[in-house]
């Protein structure tokens, strides 16, 4: 007997990849906010042309970290589906990203 309903594992994998895309977008937003932190830091330290170097190197470093994060996040969430821990892992990732966003916004307020 074939059922037309999708298996729960398939639905969880779809949810996992949807969460992966959403968290990747949130991490990209975090990347833009960290760029603002770099620019503010360079301005307030009066680094002059070295500020541009800090910005460029910092963005390269952040972009590499973002790519690594997206790859590790996919494996982390996929493993969560396999172990039945998708929602717990998703909550952990969400709290981690919100924590980093809070630090970034806090730095923007403190520097301004």
What pLDDT does 27 receive? Answer: 98
Which residues are CB-contacts of 10 (< 8 A; sequence separation ≥ 6)?
none
Residue-by-residue pLDDT tens, the chain, 112 positions: 566 666 778 999 999 999 999 999 999 999 999 999 999 988 888 988 898 999 999 999 999 999 999 999 999 999 999 999 999 999 999 999 999 999 999 999 998 7
**The two three-digit tokens of residue 30, written as one number:** 């975090």
- 48 Rama sector, left if φ>0, alpha if ψ -120 to 50, beta otherwise: left
Give residue limits of the domains in the chain.
14-111
What pLDDT does 9 receive? Answer: 86
What pLDDT does 58 receive? Answer: 94
What pLDDT does 111 receive? Answer: 84
- How far does CA 78 lie from the centroid of its chain? 16
Give CA–CA dist 103/4, Å, rounded: 47
């Amino acid at each position: 007997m074939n059922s037309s309903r999708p298996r729960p594992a398939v639905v969880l994998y779809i949810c996992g990849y949807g969460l992966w895309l959403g968290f990747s977008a949130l991490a990209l937003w975090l990347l833009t906010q960290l760029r603002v932190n770099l620019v503010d830091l360079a301005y307030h330290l009066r680094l002059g042309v070295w500020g541009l170097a800090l910005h460029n190197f910092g963005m390269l470093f952040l972009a590499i970290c973002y790519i690594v994060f997206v790859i590790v996040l996919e494996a982390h969430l996929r493993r969560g589906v396999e172990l039945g821990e998708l929602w717990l892992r998703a909550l952990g990732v969400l709290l981690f990203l919100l924590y980093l966003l809070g630090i970034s916004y806090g730095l923007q307020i403190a520097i301004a």
